[in-house]
Structure 1
Amino acid sequence: MQKADFKRQVAEDIGAFTHDPLGHAMYAYPWGKAGTELADKEGPREWQRWVMGEIRDHLSNPETRFDPLRIGIASGHGIGKSALISMLAKWGMDTCVDTRIVVTANTEGQLLTKTGPEIAKWFRLAINNDWFKVNATSIASTMVGHDKGWRLDLATWSEHNTEAFAGLHNEGKRIILIFDEASGIPPAVWEVALGALTDANTEIIWLAFGNPTQNTGDFRECFGKNRKLWKTKQIDSRTVEGTNKKYLQEIVDTYGENSDIAKVRVRGMFPSASSMQFIGSELVQEAQRRPIPVMLGTEPLIYGLDCARFGDDTSVLAKRCGRDARTRPWKRWHHMDSMTIAADVALQAQSEHPDAIMVDAGNIGAAIIDRLRQLLPDIPVFEVWFGSTKVRQAMFNGSPTNVYNKRTEIWTNLRDWLRTGCIPDDQVLEDDLTGPLYSFGGDDVSIMLERKKDMKKRGLSSPDDGDAIACTFAEPVAPRNVPGYLNPANYGRGGSDGRYDELD
């Protein structure tokens, strides 16, 4: 076959893979061909085929074709993430004229020394390696007049410079956005990237791959509160063809199956806690799964109320009776005035008869406290001043520890209680409890919970649900009185003649 005829045939063949990345990969690369880098490979790995199949099914369906497709892969080391990124980038540009692709990574070094060179390698390996010109930070079409719009760019970022993502539009054609080592990409970049999902009648694919190194942030949320938007898979490197299973098992044997090192580097699981995360995910998830405990009946019912007025924050009423913070439904208010919130809390208190109500005294809390004391004269209403720095201690990791302020104290008490307590299986609550970090206070001898305004700088919401249940630990509350036969203090002091009540 003459060279011109061969090129024409290749172009016709590749045109058949418009919505079939796996078919394209099997056609374009020299799998099993002696003397090539793929001489000992038969094709993409099983998990790579899964991703390619998801893309094929999404684009082939007229009902979903122009909806953004988001795929998140969290995995251990060595599974071939960069290879898949490269194959998908090549397929995307080969099969749709004027495709725009932007690739970024957690660091400039990762992008320019690892991800970028791997993409360039696969472009050169392909049967049609003359279609695009490979540069240091971009790959562009060699077709006259298309080099500006038919291209792939390696985009470095800073949290104050996200223009490469803000301008990613390509209406009526195809956009592919790729995040490599996505755990380390900051919220500002994720937020701006959302703008690329707005073009109508456009094939839009967003891929986020990486080791799950951070237990908070947008990549974690792909598998958590945003999981309905993403097709996700967590991959244990030991299950993937071609990985060094002996070495991977050595990591697991050395550090333990449930160690954070094994979870992140081998099992594709998010760590139990980031290095300065105050409450780890496992602790919260165990409290969400734990059955409601059998209790004596002496446990006081305590309301905790976190107050917010307008803005993005929410006022939240949490209810805790001993180790049970799940049975009684919580309540949230958004954009609600203090008098309405106080009236709602009073109505619930008249029905459930709590033994104490602990209220965040900041913001609109003072007005709510005054009104609750008017409406509920027989129920103690406590003021909780989060910023109070009176010297105090709480149990942290099993030891009495100095805490910087009242808010840190009540969260530390909450953290200790979660080891045996049960809470609602609610994603907002989980995100709130696992979101805050901690540091050392200004006195350098006490721990301090991350401030709300600092959490917002990291792109996280105010932990209103977390503050509400933490408020229930602000002050000690005496046990409820119970009939004598239920009071453990009377064990061995009575008989079977019903005289226990006399001892109470």
Structure 2
Amino acid sequence: MSMTVEAINYYYDHPVEFVEDIIGVTPDTEQAKIMRSVAANPMTSVRSGHGIGKSAVEAWIVIWFIATRPYPKIPCTAPTQHQLFDILWAEIAKWLRHSPALQREIIWTKEKVYLLGHPEEWFAVARTATKPDALQGFHADDVLYIIDEASGVKDEIFEPVLGSLSTEGARLLMCGNPTQKSGFFYESHTKNRASYSTFHIDGRKSKRVSKEFVKKIIEMYGEDSDVFRVRVAGEFPLNENDVFIPLPIIEKSIMTEFSPRKIPHIIRIGCDVARFGDDKTIIGSKIDEKVTLEKKRHGQDTMKTADDIVILYYDLLNRYPGYKDEVIVTVDDGGVGGGVVDRLRQMKRNSPGNLGQMNIVPIVFGKKIKHKHYDDSTTYMMSVVKGLLSPHDDEGNEKPVELILPDDEDLVAQLSVRKYCLTENSKIKVESKKIMKERGLPSPDEADCVLLLCVPIKSKKKGMKAK
């Protein structure tokens, strides 16, 4: 490095001053506390709400460690490629650009950041936390483990870290929203707290979190909701007893890596149609396990909604040219949604060649059904989604993730606040949209779109249910 020995020796224990002098940015009070903790303590664990600047802290710590330690190794991991590469790795590149001197000597690539001339000995590396050996095999006097969105990282990923932390120069920095009430990250803030330097950052007290975001979550879902606790206050969820789908399994789904197949097994489209002025029309897609909310808009133009669905249908078939099975299109058939169904059927009759793979299925929410456990169609669809999100099967055995949701604030909130009760004949019934609105909650439009994407439909071609 071009810094003098005296400068390196000083910055070795002073990461905040390094960032201020060399990178040219001033950390806020909480960021500075976290950085000083990493310099002074073997293990630092940070739980927080959204938007407090933790990715910047992680990036600054990576750069500081590379610049002040000889031959360090810095394995960085996160539950998904998006979180690791699109956010953390991009953040490192951003701050290296702030210092031309650092940018000349620290080389950034898509998977590794290293000191010029030492790519195999002096580096930080990105490893997605999808395999147990993601953090294995890193041996050096100075090792720094960065674990982002740590609540979503499986316990077996952490196991090799503990052995490596026995050396004096080893460090661990874990950050994340406290989404799960179990696991390594949770225990670092509870029963194993004495072994860590821990931080709790409430988004309401952070200058980096917009007051509009906090106000929106409070107004829509209340300060007593798990959505507020996790995504604003940085607290672990309470898991309310009368909530049908608990927040932790929703958050776990969001933090699951999706590995797309070249030719999907299933392509589906779902559309929840707006009924009233404040409601939204939501069009979504589901490619095997992965849900994407493709389009949101206010308004009840059924012709335009049908056009948007057909455009998405063509786009998905162009995206996956090898897919030859039907595309199931489930549409909310209540109220104005019936007009969308009618228009789609008309378009298919007029163009059977182009729309031949489209299977249009109208769905009615809240319809009474003959089922042993569930009172109506909405409750049944919620139970399907809950089952797909559950990490365990009916016998308690761990199972693969069957539904990967997008990180959408409205969707997460709507799925996690809907309550349920038992009817007089002991069937489960989730609360209706009307009751949700009486509680001051918005219409669950995004959530209903997901229900439409997941409801089992018997395929005309395969004679089987598509999920």
Taking structure 1 as the reference length, what is the TM-score of the superposition?
Answer: 0.47
Of 35, 39, 43, which aligns to 1:52? Answer: 35
Give the total of aligned pairs. Answer: 261
- The CA deviation at 1:94 is 0.5
Answer whether contact 1:10 1:128 (CA < 8 A) is retained: no
Name the structure 1 match of 2:82. 109
Of 23, 28, 31, which aligns to 1:29? Answer: 23
The superposition leaves residues 438-495 of structure 1 with CA deviations (integer Å, 9 ceiling, x where unpaired) of x87xxxxxx99864x659xxxxxxxxxxxxxxxxxxxxxxxxxxxxxxxxxxxxxxxx
Three-state SS of the structure 2 residue aligned to 1:224 is coil
Answer whether contact 1:14 1:24 (CA < 8 A) is retained: no
Name the structure 1 match of 2:121. 149
Q: Which moved more, 1:131-140 or 1:119-128?
A: 119-128
Name the structure 2 match of 1:205. 171
In 2: Cα distance, 1:220 partner to 1:122 partner: 30
Of 159, 166, 179, which aligns to 1:191? Answer: 159
Answer whether contact 2:44 2:197 (CA < 8 A) is retained: yes
- The CA deviation at 1:265 is 0.8
Of 121, 126, 133, which aligns to 1:163? Answer: 133
Answer whether contact 1:252 1:266 (CA < 8 A) is retained: no
Rate the CA distance shift 1:138–1:179 in 2: closer, same or farther, 3 A.
Answer: same
In 2: Cα distance, 1:448 partner to 1:454 partner: 6
- The two structures, once aligned, show a CA RMSD in angstroms of 3.2
Give the AA of the match of 1:128: L
Name the % identity: 29
Name the structure 2 match of 1:340. none
Of 14, 24, 38, which aligns to 1:20? Answer: 14
Rate the CA distance shift 1:113–1:279 in 2: closer, same or farther, 3 A.
Answer: closer
Name the structure 2 match of 1:465. none
Give the AA of the match of 1:23: E
Q: Is 1:129 the equivalent of 2:103?
A: yes
Three-state SS of the structure 2 residue aligned to 1:125 is coil
The structure with more radius of gyration: 1
In 1: Cα distance, 2:226 partner to 2:111 partner: 34
- The CA deviation at 1:71 is 0.9
Rate the CA distance shift 1:276–1:82 in 2: closer, same or farther, 3 A.
Answer: same
In 2: Cα distance, 1:278 partner to 1:253 partner: 19
In 2: Cα distance, 1:150 partner to 1:279 partner: 38
Name the structure 2 match of 1:226. 192
The superposition leaves residues 148-206 of structure 1 with CA deviations (integer Å, 9 ceiling, x where unpaired) of 11000001232xx3334121221xx21100111111111221223323224x3x31111
- The CA deviation at 1:210 is 0.8
Answer whether contact 2:134 2:157 (CA < 8 A) is retained: no
In 1: Cα distance, 2:216 partner to 2:20 partner: 34
The superposition leaves residues 335-377 of structure 1 with CA deviations (integer Å, 9 ceiling, x where unpaired) of xxxxxxxxxxxxxxxxxxxxxxxxxxxxxxxxxxxxxxxxxxx
Three-state SS of the structure 2 residue aligned to 1:91 is helix
Rate the CA distance shift 1:254–1:16 in 2: closer, same or farther, 3 A.
Answer: same
In 1: Cα distance, 2:177 partner to 2:14 partner: 27
Answer whether contact 2:179 2:247 (CA < 8 A) is retained: no
Of 203, 209, 212, which aligns to 1:246? Answer: 212
In 2: Cα distance, 1:54 partner to 1:205 partner: 10
Answer whether contact 1:238 1:249 (CA < 8 A) is retained: no
Rate the CA distance shift 1:113–1:273 in 2: closer, same or farther, 3 A.
Answer: same
- The CA deviation at 1:54 is 2.0
Rate the CA distance shift 1:125–1:108 in 2: closer, same or farther, 3 A.
Answer: same
Of 170, 174, 177, which aligns to 2:142? Answer: 174
Structure 2: gaps spanning 5 or more residues: 250-371, 374-385, 400-467
Give the AA of the match of 1:93: I
Q: Is 1:269 the equivalent of 2:235?
A: yes
Structure-to-structure mapping, 1:408-423, within 5 angstroms: none
Structure 1: gaps spanning 5 or more residues: 1-6, 32-42, 59-68, 281-400, 403-438, 441-446, 456-504
Structure-to-structure mapping, 1:21-100, within 5 angstroms: 21-31=15-25, 43-58=26-41, 69-100=42-73
Give the AA of the match of 2:34: V
Give the AA of the match of 1:244: S
Structure-to-structure mapping, 1:78-477, within 5 angstroms: 78-126=51-99, 127-143=101-117, 146-158=118-130, 161-170=131-140, 173-198=141-166, 200=167, 202-273=168-239, 451=396, 454=398
Answer whether contact 1:183 1:211 (CA < 8 A) is retained: yes
